[in-house]
Homo-oligomer: A and B are copies of this chain.
Amino acid sequence: MRAQAKAEAALARALADEGIAPQSAADAIAAAAERVGAAAVYAEEARIGHDVRALVNVIRTEIPPDARRFVHLGATSMDVVDTANAWRYREAVEKVVIPRLGLLASRLIALAEGEAETTQAGRTHGQHAVPITFGFAIAEYRALERRYLAHLGLVPASHSTQIVEPEAWSDLAHACVTALGVMANLADDMRHLQRTEIAEIAEGFGAQQVGSSTMPQKRNPVSFENVKSMWKAFMPRVITTYLDQISEHQRDLTNSASQRFSGELIAATAYAATRLGSSIDGVHIDRERMKANVGLSKGGIIAEALYILLAKHGHADAHEAVRRLTVEAERGGRSALELASLDPELKPLLAKLTPAERKVLDQPDEYRGLAPEVAREVAQTWRAKLAGVLPE
**Which A residues lie at the B interface, using CB under 8 A?**
20, 47-50, 52-53, 56, 60, 65-66, 68-70, 72-77, 80, 121-130, 132, 137, 140, 143, 146-147, 165, 167, 170-171, 174, 177-178, 181-182, 184-185, 188-189, 191-192, 194-198, 205-206, 208-222, 225-226, 228-230, 232-233, 235-240, 242-261, 293, 296-297, 300-301, 303-304, 306-308, 311-312, 314-320, 322-323, 325-326, 336
Contact = CB atoms under 8 A, between A and B. Distances in A.
Contact of A196 (B215, B233, B296): B296
A76 B213 contact: yes
Contacts of A317: 60, 68-69
B232 A195 contact: no
Chain A residues touching B, majority SS? helix
Contacts of A225: 125, 252-254, 256
B215 A229 contact: no
Contact of A252 (B124, B130, B254): B124
Copies of this chain: 4
B192 A248 contact: yes
A152 to B, nearest CB: 16
A336 to B, nearest CB: 7
Contact of A250 (B122, B195, B240, B311): B122
Contacts of A76: 124, 212-215
A90 B367 CA distance: 35
A229 B254 contact: yes
A181 B217 contact: no
Given A73-B308, A213-B56, A250 B197 contact: no
A108 to B, nearest CB: 16
Contact of A191 (B181, B229, B252): B252
26 contacts: A49-B206, A50-B210, A65-B316, A69-B316, A75-B214, A122-B250, A124-B251, A124-B252, A125-B252, A127-B220, A128-B196, A129-B215, A167-B182, A174-B174, A178-B242, A181-B242, A216-B323, A217-B301, A217-B303, A217-B326, A222-B253, A229-B258, A229-B259, A232-B243, A235-B242, A235-B243
